[in-house]
Amino acid sequence: MRHSAFVYEDDEAMVGKLAPWLAVAVTDKTPVVVVLERRKWQLVATALGSDADAILSLDPDVFLTRPEAALAGFDAAFRRLLPNGTSAARVYGEPPWRVEAEWDGWIAFEAIFNRAFAHQPGWALCGYDTRDVPEPALDGAFATHPEILTDSWTRNPRYEKPEDVVRSHTPTPVPIVGLRALPLRRGPQRFRENLRAELDAAGVSKLDAKGMLIAVEEVLTHMRRDGGQKLGVSVGRVGDRFACEISEAGAEIDDPLAGFLPPQPEHPDRGGLWIARQLTQQLELMRSPHGMTVRLWV
């Protein structure tokens, strides 16, 4: 997967570079997906004329809700657009930068994209409109894309390893006090009943509660498969959210991309952390002198 950043300053520059890039793919009968706000897409579509009809246009407010969901969306799109016999696909999108608290997550998303879809044939182009993109996000564009398009295509000497970018843009989790321990020794059925009771008592919605129940089971399965013996689970309400911490003494997850990479068909059993990230609002990995903790939030 070729992953490039397109930095532009106005609508004319956007249309002038993007429309020809898309038109080449349409001419070559390459599958094309565009994730772009309506106003900009209409400008590009007008320049493309009838070629725009061959392009799948997706609403970013629906597709780019959070990085974990966007990774799953692109994974599904590539699997659909690249069946056996299809040589490549082209994708264009612009990450959302509306909420400052989410900037780190989207910069990390751009870095993860390089690892998550390295095996997929195609070209992903990410737009950065300097009228709207904050300076930290623009710096992130240079850290996460091996190639940059401004006036011309150039190799990017500022590109960094995805793992390093994700580490630097992942906040250190803050310890939580007051969580209650849920015993595991009474068996899985009793544990699920106790966890469900805690979720109900905390007023967690049925949909979020169902996601948390499945996510916790997936994390426990992941830890047990990797040799986890001394497992512990603690839960509780924290403000208007619900947290669940699954700890394993002696364990270590040193990969900052853990749970971000889509599971592959040859290893369908290795997707526990991926599923947990998809079914909860947030997953945090924490080290301690005693082992490793996975914290889930809804």
Q: What string of H, E and C letters represents the secondary structure of 24-76?
A: HHHHCCCCEEEECCHHHHHHHHHHHHHHHHHCEEECHHHHCCCHHHHHHHHHH
Q: Count CB-CB contacts under 10 A for residue 54.
A: 16
Q: Residue 227 — very low, low, confident or very high, per pLDDT cuts 50/70/90?
A: low
Q: Count CB-CB contacts under 10 A for residue 97.
A: 19
Residue pLDDT, tens place only, 103-134: 999 999 999 999 999 999 999 999 999 999 99
Q: Residue 76 — very low, low, confident or very high, per pLDDT cuts 50/70/90?
A: very high
Average pLDDT across the chain, whole number: 92
φ, ψ for residue 183, nearest 5 deg: -70, 140
Asked whether the predicted pLDDT for residue 268 surpasses 60, the reply is no
Q: Residue 87 — very low, low, confident or very high, per pLDDT cuts 50/70/90?
A: confident
> Across residues 148-169, what is the average pLDDT?
94
**Euclidean distance between CA atoms 274 and 94, whole angstroms:** 24
Query: Coil, helix or strand for 173?
Result: coil
> Across residues 209-237, what is the average pLDDT?
89
DSSP H or E segment with residue 199 = helix 188-201
- Predicted TM-score (pTM) of the model is 0.91
Q: List the one residue out of 25, 17, 77 whose CA is nearest residue 44.
A: 17
Buried b (16+ CB within 10 A) or exposed e, 55-90: bebbebeebbeebbebbebbbebbeebbeeeeebbb
Q: Residue 269 — very low, low, confident or very high, per pLDDT cuts 50/70/90?
A: low
- The pLDDT value recorded for residue 192 is 95
Asked whether the predicted pLDDT for residue 177 surpasses 60, the reply is yes
- The pLDDT value recorded for residue 249 is 82
